[in-house]
């Protein structure tokens, strides 16, 4: 087994998995029907991407490993999602701010991965970025609508953007695996990633009339398996059926 490649694929899949589950919790609870459906579709898009990453990871691992094993049969400390994706759906502004930061990062990451020397990674990224282009447009347009809307929506959006700013730093902290993958031409250049992220998010926040948060501390640990208290509750829901009925198939 190529452990570095396997670990890298887990890194690529875990954050969309956890965020997709968070978004799935909103089904039936959106502020209007159109937005409700949009959020559910984004969750489905992310799950589809996760399946591609995990299927490839299962093949790399071998020994009969399946995508379901990777998704449902790991313990909390074995997940490598960023802590940002675990945060709860407090209100619509929180949902949009969390999604906005993730989408800006995700789009730039996949853009680079379309040029990966690993043809399978390149193909998955090329397919996924078509969906993530829409995700980024959806979240950034809502940031502008709320930021430049009523006094109440402006305050809520500003508070949400400021709150989640402490989580975005982890998006650009390279693990040893990510450094190795970049050096081999497989992974992304995190310096370019951060430059593109900052340029895009700052432009959107300026258009929305929102202040760009200044932070001096970053919440981190997810990529090393150290998570917030929220992940355990997420996994309780996510893994229930597979844990209760081991080996079940649809």
Does the residue 34 lie in any domain?
Answer: yes
Local confidence pLDDT in tens for the 250 residues of the chain: 899 999 999 999 999 999 999 999 999 888 888 898 999 999 999 999 999 999 999 999 999 899 999 999 999 999 999 999 999 999 999 999 999 999 999 999 999 999 999 999 999 999 999 999 999 999 999 999 999 999 999 999 999 999 999 999 999 999 999 999 999 999 999 999 999 999 999 999 999 999 999 888 899 999 999 999 999 999 999 999 998 888 877 6
Does the residue 250 lie in any domain?
Answer: no
CATH label of the domain that carries residue 158: 1.20.1260.10
Q: Are 69 and 152 in contact (CB under 8 A)?
A: no
Does the residue 109 lie in any domain?
Answer: yes
Does the residue 70 lie in any domain?
Answer: yes
pTM: 0.96
Alpha-carbon separation of residue 125 from 46, 119, 183, 188, 244 (angstroms) = 12, 10, 19, 12, 34
Q: Are 242 and 73 in contact (CB under 8 A)?
A: yes
Does the residue 216 lie in any domain?
Answer: yes
| Containing structural domain, residue 125 | 3-244
Does the residue 86 lie in any domain?
Answer: yes
Does the residue 249 lie in any domain?
Answer: no
144/210 Cα distance (integer angstroms): 9
Domain count, the chain: 1
């Amino acid at each position: 087994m190529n452990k570095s490649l396997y670990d890298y694929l887990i890194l690529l899949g875990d954050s969309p998995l956890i965020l997709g589950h968070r978004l799935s919790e909103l089904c039936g609870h959106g502020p209007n029907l159109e937005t409700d459906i949009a959020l559910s579709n984004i969750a489905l898009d992310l799950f589809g991407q996760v399946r591609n990453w995990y299927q490839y990871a299962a093949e790399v691992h071998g020994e009969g490993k399946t995508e379901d094993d990777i998704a449902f049969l790991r313990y909390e400390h074995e997940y490598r999602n960023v802590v940002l994706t675990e945060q709860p759906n407090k209100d619509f502004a929180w949902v949009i701010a969390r999604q906005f930061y993730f989408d800006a990062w995700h789009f730039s990451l996949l853009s680079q991965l379309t040029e990966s020397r690993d043809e399978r990674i390149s193909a998955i990224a090329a397919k996924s970025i078509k969906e993530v282009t829409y995700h980024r447009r959806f979240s950034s347009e809502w940031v502008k609508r709320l930021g430049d809307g009523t006094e109440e929506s402006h305050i809520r959006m500003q508070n949400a953007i400021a709150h989640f700013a402490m989580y975005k730093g982890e998006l650009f902290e390279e693990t040893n695996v990510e450094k190795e993958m970049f050096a081999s031409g497989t992974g992304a250049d995190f310096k370019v990633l951060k430059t593109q992220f900052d340029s895009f998010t700052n432009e959107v926040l300026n258009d929305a009339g929102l202040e760009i948060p200044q932070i001096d501390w970053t919440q981190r640990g997810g990529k090393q398996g150290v998570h917030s208290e929220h992940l355990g509750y997420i996994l309780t829901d996510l893994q229930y059926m597979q844990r209760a009925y081991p080996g079940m198939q649809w």
